[in-house]
Amino acid sequence: MTEKDIHHLLGKLPQLKQEIQKVIVGQEEVLDEVLITMMAGGHGLLEGVPGLAKTLLVRTLSNAMDLGFRRIQFTPDLMPTDILGTEVLEEDHATGKRFFKFNEGPIFSNIVLADEINRTPPKTQAALLEAMQEHEVTYAGKTYFLPKPFFLLATQNPIEQAGTYPLPEAQLDRFLLYIKIKYPTEQEELNILSSTTGTRQAQVQPILSGEEVMLLRQLVREVSISDELLSFVNQLVRATRPDSTSIEFVKKYCRWGAGPRAGQALILTSKARALLNGRFAVTADDIQTMAYPVLRHRVLVNFAAEAERVTPDKVVDELLQSIKLPKAVLV
């Protein structure tokens, strides 16, 4: 890509946000984190109470991109084959021979919305593991590759416990970011009421193609990061592990820390955030901002923390205060 091509491609990111904001009011931080997930080539877990437009956000994102989109409603009776696909027996009318043909499930799309993912049992949740990690599906001994680009956005409701199945830690780790959606501000809620109860329907135009998404993912990896910031990320992740950390707060309240995948996620998402903001180098602010959605589902707190209402985000607060930034780095 030439320098002109790069600037043209990056110029489409503000346009993409504008198209999504025709429908989604406010939620700037959430929207940025969803776009960062897409640019970094990962998957996102969106958590919020009912009515905060989680599903609408994902659907609007798909409308603003020239990509295939499928929505899977996760229910207690959903089976793995309902996601992956299944083989059916067919007959060749010319020869009369019968054969099995694999019918692809809804996972074979560019953008997949796993709606209310925690409403289905672990057996069905596990059907996503290979697709999320290797971007492929194995069925009856054969491997089928998913389309490129592929990324999965899952939603879950934090306030309902009956009829839900918490995601296993191994699957949580497959999500690049754990995105929490908060209530809108008073003015944002007023705008929502005004824009959604009339007759006018916003029309969202596709801005990015699949090929451009793949180019963006390549550009993200070319964003530079200093050795000092790499070392800072490494210290940050290693400090989450209670058996080896020197931070007393972590020893007291954490029962499990983040693995190496957290460091990879933090670096990639920091690079994507830099690119989203028109920069070609990672700053300390990128890392400190992305530390929360990267680590909140990878740091497991213990019973003492739950009793005292110490959340993983509070643990990240303590980590960022305890681990000093290296000198002479971009802030």
Q: What is the 3-state secondary structure (H, E, C) of the chain?
A: CCHHHHHHHHCHHHHHHHHHHCCCCCCHHHHHHHHHHHHHCCCEEEECCCCCCHHHHHHHHHHCEECCEEEEECCCCCCHHHHHEEEEEEECCCCCCEEEEEEECCCCCCEEEEECHHHCCHHHHHHHHHHHHHCEEEECCEEEECCCCCEEEEEECCCCCCCCCCCCHHHHCCCCEEEECCCCCHHHHHHHHHHHCCCCCCCCCCCEEHHHHHHHHHHHHHCECCHHHHHHHHHHHHCCCCCCCCCHHHHHHEEECCCHHHHHHHHHHHHHHHHHCCCCECCHHHHHHHHHHHHCCCCEECHHHHHCCCCHHHHHHHHHHHCCCCCCCCC
Share above pLDDT 70 across residues of the chain, in percent, rounded to a whole number? 97
At 263-308, the pLDDT tens digits run 999 999 999 999 999 889 999 999 999 999 999 999 888 898 888 8
Q: To 5 degrees, how large is the angle CA 169–CA 85–CA 138?
A: 60
How far apart are the C-alpha atoms of 197 and 79, rounded to whole Å? 37
Mean local confidence (pLDDT), 16-40: 87
The separation between the first and the last C-alpha atoms of the chain, rounded to the nearest angstrom, is 29
CB 310 within 8 A of CB 301: yes
At 132-187, the pLDDT tens digits run 888 988 888 888 899 989 999 998 887 766 667 888 887 888 899 999 988 888 88
At 306-321, the pLDDT tens digits run 888 889 999 999 999 9
Share above pLDDT 90 across residues of the chain, in percent, rounded to a whole number? 27
CB atoms within 10 A of CB 46: 28
CA 105 to chain centre: 21
Q: To 5 degrees, how large is the angle CA 69–CA 114–CA 51?
A: 100
Identify residue 30 by its one-letter amino acid code. V
Identify residue 149 by its one-letter amino acid code. P
Cβ-based neighbours of 98, under 8 Å, separated by 6 or more: 89, 90, 91, 92
Residue 154 corresponds to which tokens in the numbers above? 């899952």
Q: What is the pLDDT of residue 40?
A: 92
